[in-house]
Amino acid sequence: MMLSSLTAISPIDGRYGNRTVKLRDIFSEYAFLKFRVKVELLWLKKLLTLKEINVFIKENESINCRIDEIMNNFNEHDAQNIKKLEKTINHDVKSIEYFLKDKLFKMLGAHRVVNFVHCFCTSEDINNLAYSLMLKAAKDKFIIPIWENIIKELKKIISNYYNFPILSRTHGQPATPSTIGKEMVNFSYRIERQLIQFKNINLLGKINGSTGNYNAHFSAYPNINWHKISQDFVLSLGLEWNPYTTQIEPHDYISEFFSCIARVNTILINFNQDMWGYISLNYFVQKNNVNEIGSSIMPHKINPINFENSEGNLGLANAIISYFTRKLPISRWQRDLSDSTVLRNMGSVIAYSMIAYDSMISGIQKLKVNEVQLLEDLDKHWEILAEPIHTVMCKYGIRDAYDKLKLLTRGKKINSAIIHSYINSLTIPEEEKIQLIQLTPMSYLGLSTKLAKNFKNYKHNE
C-alpha cells in the first residue's frame, strides 16, 4: 500500500494533510536532517575561522564555497542516502557525519578539513541546535502569525458589536448583561497577553561536548577559549546560548515554549465551548452553505463542527504537551535517550494546534450575530434588574433589600410592569426611581460598551 493522504495512519498527514503540509518543511524527517546538516556545516565553517586550526588548512574561501554548496543544495536524495547509512550503522547523527565526509572527500579529496566534520561534537550538540532552529521557524512562520490572525478575527466582532447587548449566563443561568464586543474582548485580551509572553520566550542552544565541559576541545587545543567560541556560534544561529548543561541542553525552554502554546490552546477551548453554547442558544447563526450537509438523517441541521473540530484537536495537542512538560526537563545523570523519541513529536503538537486554529477561524468567519434572538431573550428576563434595584435600596439603607427582591423575583416570570411597580413602591428619592425605571435588560450594560470600544487603545505590559 502506497503512502498517501488516504493510507496515512495519522490524520495529521491523512485527513488533514492539506492543512499541515506546510509544516513538513520544518518537522518532517527530511527537514530534521536538513537542519542538522546545516548545523554540522556551519560548525565546520566556524572551526575553520580559528587561527589555531586554520594554520594547517589553506584555501579557506574555496573550502567554504564547497561547504555552502552542500548545505544549499541538500535534497531528498541526500536525505535518503543518510537514511541508508543509518540503517547500516544504527546511529542517526553519525550517519550525517559519514555522509558529509563522503561529500567533502569527493569535492576536496583527502584534504585535512574532512577530518574536522563533527569535530568536538556529541550528537546532542547537533540535535539540540537543530530542534531549536525548527521551533524558531515554526514560531516565526506559523504560530505567531496565526495567533495574530485569531486576534484579528475577534477584533472584527469587537468592532462591529462593541455595544450590542447579550444576556450573560453565570452558572448557566440568566445574569447581568454584557455586550458581544466585551465578551470577545475577554478572549482577545487573554490571547494577546500570552502572545507577548510567547514572543519573549528565548530558544536556547549549546555546543559543549560530551558532558558540557569541553573536555575534547581542551585536550586538543587548550589555548582556545572554547566557552566563548560556543557562545559566538549559538548566537550566530539566532538562538540564546545556554552556558551550563550536561550532555544535553536540558529542554527547560522547550517546556516553556509548549506550556505557552498549551495556555493559548486552553483559552481557545474555552472560546470554542462558549461559541458552541451561543450557537445552541441561537445567539449566533452559521452561514448556510447549500452544498454542505449537517446531519446524515436530519436535513435541517447546521452543526457547529468547526468549533467542535477545533476543541478536539486542541485537546490532543495539550495532552501531548502535558507529557512534554513533565518529561523533557528530566534526564538521568548526564544523558539518557528517553527524550529523543519525545522530541520527534514536536511537529505533531504544532500540527494538531494548527488544524484547530484553522478550524476555529473558519468557524468564526461563518458566524452571524442573531440580533433579534439576543433582544428577545433579554426581554424575557426582566428579573436581572433585581441587581441594580437591590444596590440602590442598599444605598438608601432599606433593610432586608436582598430578601425582599428574592421574594419578588426568584422562580417567577417577571416583566417590565412588575419591575416598575416595585420601583414605584420604594421609599427612595424620585430621581433614583426615574433612573431605575429607565433601565431595561437591553440597557443595563454598565461599562461594557466603553470597555469594548476602548480595547484597541489598551496596551499590554511587555
Active-site amino acid positions: 171, 295
C-alpha span between 213 and 216 (Å, rounded): 9
153 to each of 76, 88, 275, 357, 380, how far by Cα in Å? 38, 51, 14, 12, 31
Amino acid (1-letter code) at residue 242: N
Measured over the CA atoms of residue 177, residue 180, residue 182 and residue 188, the dihedral's sign is positive
| DSSP type of residue 116 | G
Burial category of 84 from C-beta neighbours within 10 Å (exposed 0-12, middle 13-18, buried 19 and up):
exposed
C-alpha cell at 221: 587545543
Residues 226/197, Cβ–Cβ less than 8 Å:
no
Beta-carbon count within 10 A of 377 CB? 18
CA triple 321-326-330, angle to 5 deg: 130
Measured over the CA atoms of residue 443, residue 448, residue 454 and residue 456, the dihedral's sign is negative
H helix or E strand, kind and range, residue 241: strand 240-241
CA triple 188-190-191, angle to 5 deg: 65
C-alpha span between 382 and 352 (Å, rounded): 44
Burial category of 141 from C-beta neighbours within 10 Å (exposed 0-12, middle 13-18, buried 19 and up):
middle
Beta-carbon count within 10 A of 10 CB? 13
C-alpha span between 20 and 196 (Å, rounded): 25
CA triple 146-150-152, angle to 5 deg: 110
